[in-house]
C-alpha cells in the first residue's frame, strides 16, 4: 500500500514509519517538523529519510493526496497543555483541519482515512470501564477538539470512503522524538534525574495507557484490514488490562528505578480527567492489533534509555521535550507565529542536536 502519514516526524510517527515499512508499505510523510529540535538520541531514523510533502495540514489539497491507499492522520496539537494555549487554534488544527484533510482525501479518491483521536474524549468518565459507545464528556479544549472531529468526520463515510476513529489511550515509551509531558515518561524521567517520583495530582485518577509501538501496530492493522471490519468504526487503542491509577504507575517506577521515592507536589489534588477504558473491541476485531507492551516493560525501557543517554530536570520540565513549552519558546523567539506556522523557511532553522 501507498500510505500518507501526517505527523510522521513526531513522537508516534517516528516509531510508526519503520513498522509500516517492515510490512512492505510505501510511506510518504506530511509534516512541517515543528519538533525538529526535540530529538532524543543521535538521530530520528527511517522517518527522516522518506519523502516529506512538508505542507501544513491546513494547506493540504486533493492534489497532495492523490494516489494514496490510506491516510494515517497523526498530526495535530497533541495534549491538554498544548491545547490550552489557544482553544480556538486547537479547534482549527484538531477539528477543522482534520475534517478538511479527510474531505480532500475523499475527493482525491483515497479509500481509507485513519483519524488519531483520543480517550480524552471520555474525559470525566469516573470509575467504570467505558467502551466505544460511551458518552463523550471531555473536560479540556484538546478533548473537545478530538470529540468534535469525530462527529464531523462521520457524514463523510460512504461506499468509497472509510473513516476510522482511533481513540488512543495515554501514550508512553521511548521514541526519537520523545515527550516528557506524558505520565509514564514524566514520572520515570523525574525518578532517574532527581530520585523523586513527583506527583502533581493526588494520584487517584485512572488512566488507560499504551506504548507508542502498540499504537503504531493498531494503525497498521487497521490499514491492512478488510473494509467491512473497519468502515466508520471507532476503536479504543490499548489494552483493558493496562488501566492504572496514577499512584500505581508511580509505585511501578519506584520498583524499577533504584533509590527513587514518591513525593507529592504541595498543591496536589484530584484531577477531573479520570477514565478506565475497555479496549477489547480492537483486539477482538483485529488480532494483529493486540498490544505487546505492559506499563512495567515501558518503565524498564524508559529507565534504560534515560540511564544510557542521561536526562536532566531542565529537559523534562523545559521546552525541549514538552510540547506546550516548546511551542511557547518558538513563538517568543519569533520563529513561530501564534498560529503555529513557521515565521521563516525551515532551512533557516538550526538543525537539531543529539541528546
- CB of 1 within 8 A of CB of 69? yes
Neighbour tally for 333: CB within 10 Å? 10
- CB of 162 within 8 A of CB of 227? yes
Domain 2-178+208-241+278-293+323-348 fold: Rossmann fold (3.40.50)
What is residue 345's predicted lDDT score, i.e. its pLDDT? Answer: 55
What is residue 351's predicted lDDT score, i.e. its pLDDT? Answer: 36
Supply φ then ψ for residue 194, to 5 degrees: -125, -15
What is residue 126's predicted lDDT score, i.e. its pLDDT? Answer: 67
Separation CA 106–CA 284 (nearest Å): 28
What is residue 25's predicted lDDT score, i.e. its pLDDT? Answer: 98
- CB of 4 within 8 A of CB of 73? no
What is residue 353's predicted lDDT score, i.e. its pLDDT? Answer: 33
CA–CA distance from 73 to each of 10, 206, 296 (Å)? 12, 27, 29
**For 253-268, b where at least 16 C-beta lie within 10 A, e where not — what string?**
bbebbeebebebeeee
Rounded to 10 degrees, the C-alpha dihedral 65/67/71/74 comes to -60
What is residue 117's predicted lDDT score, i.e. its pLDDT? Answer: 96
Closest of 10, 14, 23 to residue 2, by C-alpha = 23
- Show me where the domains of the chain are located: 2-178+208-241+278-293+323-348
What is residue 318's predicted lDDT score, i.e. its pLDDT? Answer: 75
Separation CA 251–CA 261 (nearest Å): 9
Render each residue's pLDDT in the chain as its tens digit; 355 residues: 999 999 999 999 999 999 999 999 999 999 999 988 888 887 788 999 999 999 999 999 999 999 999 999 999 988 767 767 789 999 999 999 999 999 999 999 999 999 999 998 988 766 789 999 999 989 889 999 999 999 999 999 999 999 999 999 999 999 999 988 899 999 999 999 999 998 988 888 888 999 999 999 999 999 999 999 999 999 999 999 999 999 999 999 999 999 999 999 888 777 777 789 999 999 999 999 999 999 999 999 999 999 998 888 877 777 777 778 888 889 999 999 999 998 865 543 333 333 3
Amino acid at each position: 500500500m501507498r500510505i500518507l502519514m501526517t505527523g510522521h516526524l513526531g513522537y508516534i510517527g517516528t516509531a510508526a514509519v519503520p513498522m509500516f515499512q517492515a510490512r512492505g508499505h510505501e510511506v510518504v510523510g506530511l509534516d512541517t517538523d515543528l519538533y525538529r529540535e526535540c530529538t532524543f538520541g543521535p538521530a530520528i531514523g527511517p522517518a527522516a529519510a522518506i519523502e516529506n510533502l512538508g505542507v501544513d495540514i491546513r494547506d493540504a489539497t486533493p492534489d497532495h493526496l492523490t494516489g494514496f491507499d490510506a491516510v494515517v492522520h497523526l498530526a495535530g496539537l497533541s495534549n491538554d497543555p498544548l491545547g490550552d494555549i489557544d482553544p480556538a487554534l486547537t479547534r482549527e488544527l484538531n477539528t477543522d483541519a482534520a475534517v478538511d484533510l479527510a474531505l480532500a482525501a475523499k475527493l482525491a479518491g483515497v479509500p481509507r482515512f485513519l483519524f488519531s483521536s483520543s480517550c480524552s474524549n471520555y474525559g470525566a468518565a469516573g470509575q467504570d470501564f467505558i467502551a466505544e459507545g460511551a458518552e463523550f464528556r471531555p473536560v479540556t479544549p484538546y478533548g473537545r477538539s478530538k470529540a468534535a472531529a469525530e462527529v464531523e468526520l462521520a457524514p463523510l463515510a460512504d461506499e468509497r470512503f472509510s473513516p476510522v476513529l482511533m481513540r488512543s489511550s495515554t501514550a508512553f515509551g521511548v521514541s526519537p522524538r520523545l515527550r516528557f509531558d506524558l505520565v509514564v515518561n514524566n514520572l520515570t524521567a523525574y525518578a532517574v534525574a532527581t530520585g523523586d517520583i513527583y506527583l502533581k495530582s493526588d494520584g487517584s485518577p485512572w488512566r488507560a495507557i499504551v506504548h507508542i509501538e502498540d499504537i503504531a501496530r493498531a494503525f497498521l492493522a487497521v490499514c491492512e484490514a478488510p473494509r467491512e471490519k473497519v468502515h466508520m468504526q471507532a476503536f479504543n487503542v490499548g489494552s483493558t488490562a493496562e488501566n492504572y491509577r496514577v499512584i500505581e504507575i508511580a509505585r511501578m517506577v519506584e520498583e524499577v528505578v533504584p533509590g527513587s521515592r514518591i513525593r507529592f507536589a504541595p498543591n496536589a489534588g484530584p484531577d477531573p480527567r479520570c477514565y478506565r477504558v475497555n479496549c477489547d473491541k480492537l483486539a477482538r476485531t483485529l488480532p494483529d492489533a493486540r498490544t505487546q507492551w505492559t506499563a512495567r516493560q515501558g518503565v524498564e525501557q524508559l529507565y534504560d534509555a534515560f540511564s544510557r543517554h542521561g536526562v536532566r530536570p531542565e529537559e523534562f520540565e523545559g521546552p525541549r521535550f514538552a510540547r506546550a513549552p516548546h511551542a511557547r519558546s518558538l513563538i517568543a523567539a519569533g520563529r513561530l507565529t501564534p498560529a503555529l506556522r513557521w515565521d521563516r523557511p525551515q532551512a533557516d532553522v538550526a538543525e537539531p542536536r543529539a541528546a
